Amino acid sequence: MEDSMLNRIRTSPLWARVIPFAVFAVLTLLQGRLGEAMQYWIYAFKAVVCAWLLWSMRSQLQEMKWKFSLGAAATGVLIFLVWVGLDGHYPILAQRTGSFDPIRTFGQGSALGISFIVVRILGSSLVVPPLEEVFYRSFIYRFISQSQFWKVPLGRFELIPFLFAGIVFGMSHYEWLPGILCAFAYQGLVCWKKRLGDAIMAHAVTNFLLGLWVVFRGAYYFW
């Protein structure tokens, strides 16, 4: 029975795109609720579990293929600059309850603190981009257009799905304004290139640069 249910999930175009993101969201909610030190272990666990889920469901995620292009790289750099450049210049809708700062928790130069920083950068650069792009740009955007979303070409531009999916993505971040602009840019890449891989790559570039910025500038509030 369990194997049959797992097979149905793995072969479902909908669940293959929703379940990894749902697990990611639930574990994210738990991060700050079980004590400060636990949030780092939960993030590491979340990164591993979600990477495994994406890998195990890859047969249903044909669009989940990284593609490097100059457009993707330029978009990733641009969104990073927008993300940090707009900081403090727009109204905040919700106050952060904490930040991902393992150096503060475990001490300057601690092996554990440095390890969690590396895990965070790797997770945000290698796991989050395909997970979020598959959910928002491949699933949400196309599902708004048609319930049988897999029949909608990735490169089709439709204004209402474009705006709705972008706003939902943006509002899921504390940095809602750069988040919305980020979503519009990534969705634009998908429509332009008619594939998801460039958006995944752009997202990875943005998150990697943001991770370096956080560490070297001590701007842990972005995490």
Q: Provide the pLDDT confidence category of residue 2 given band limits of 50, 70 and 90.
A: low
Whole-angstrom CA distances from 161 to 113, 175, 187 are 41, 21, 10
Q: Which residues contact 31 (CB under 8 A, 6 or more apart)?
A: 38, 39, 42, 43, 46
Q: pLDDT per residue over 114-150, tens digit each?
A: 999 999 999 999 999 999 999 999 999 999 999 999 9
Query: Are 131 and 50 within 8 A, CB to CB?
Result: yes
Question: What percent of the chain has pLDDT above 90?
Answer: 83
What are the pLDDT digits (tens) for 54-64?
999 999 999 99
Number of residues written out for the chain = 223
Provide the mean pLDDT of the chain.
93
The amino acid sitting at 194 is: K
What Å distances lie between residue 70 and 75, 158, 163, 174, 196, CA to CA?
8, 25, 25, 29, 15
- Per-residue pLDDT tens for 162-211? 999 999 999 999 999 999 999 999 999 999 999 999 999 999 999 999 99
The pLDDT value recorded for residue 11 is 74
pLDDT at position 150 is: 93
